[in-house]
Chain A
Amino acid sequence: MHAALAVPLQAGVLPAVSDDLVARAREGDRAAFEALYRAHAGRVYALCLRLSADVLRAEELTQDTFVQAWRGLRAFRGESAFASWLHRIAVNAALGTHRASERRERRVLPLAEPPQGRSDAVDTGLAVDLERAIASLPPGARATFVLHDIEGYAHEEIAGMMGVAAGTSKAQLHRARRLLREGLTR
């Protein structure tokens, strides 16, 4: 019964994007790129917000992600889905930032209001509690939890992105879950 929890979480939920839009954007069509931005900004921002736990930084990271994507579109050959490629850029940008700022004072996501997201059957109170708890995690544990348990990346992928061993990713995830469990039952 618990094995179902091991099923990849993001399969099928990435927004579909017209190949034509990507092709046009690759040729420099700014309107096509804006359409890609409109289709993906919410998911990229959600990812950046959870990884950075900082609203203003999440905005910056979202912008950086799309600027990097624009610069790199010609190198994008379509081996992976555009959304997956874009999200990898966002993850790399966010992880690079959190590594550089790990020693600075950590700011906690100011979630006075629940995120205005799109999801089926979300209990708003529970979601806000969980978002707050995630934001209060240490950066490494938070990144691992977000990437594994929310975004559905495998430990090997996370290890590659974070520059750590897969075992370290597993240990960080265990720590994150334990801290969340403790934090949510207080």
Chain B
Amino acid sequence: MSKIAAPIAPPKRFKKMLSAVAPTQSAESRAETLEIRPVRHSDLDAVIAIDTMVTGLEKRAYWNSLYRRYADAVATGQYFLVAVRGDETIGFAIGEVRDWEFGAPPCGWVFAIDVHPQARLAGAATQLLKAICDNFRQAGVSKVRTMLSRDNTLILSFFRSQGMMIGPFIPLEMDLQA
């Protein structure tokens, strides 16, 4: 599992533009580094709190289940990472390598990623996605996919900004008749 400890800094190319929109941060918080590491049980309350804040629905049983399945599951191509600044867990990402799903060759799927709203625009989600992708590469896959609601413009914009394009699959659904 890769471990990233990177200073929080926007890409040099757009630094001037970003400086106009970045949230106000103290000199102390700017100096703190962001660490991306595998989830620990002590992170779970913060992860659940971030998800609850963003979705408006606490899903503790769901997150406990994810923790049991994805923590310490690197050997089976499953990754549950958190972003930590100082001693605060500010974000998370979960992904896994899926083999031949929908007939596709093995590829990485990111199915959860979020950052505390007050810690956004500082590169944490970018570092989380990079770490997940590094793990996928080490697992031998060369493609990463995700799927989300088309109404979720914020996260869609994030994945787009990372270079993701619409893939070859079309999601379909229907209501089941009683």
Tell whether A pairs with B.
Answer: no
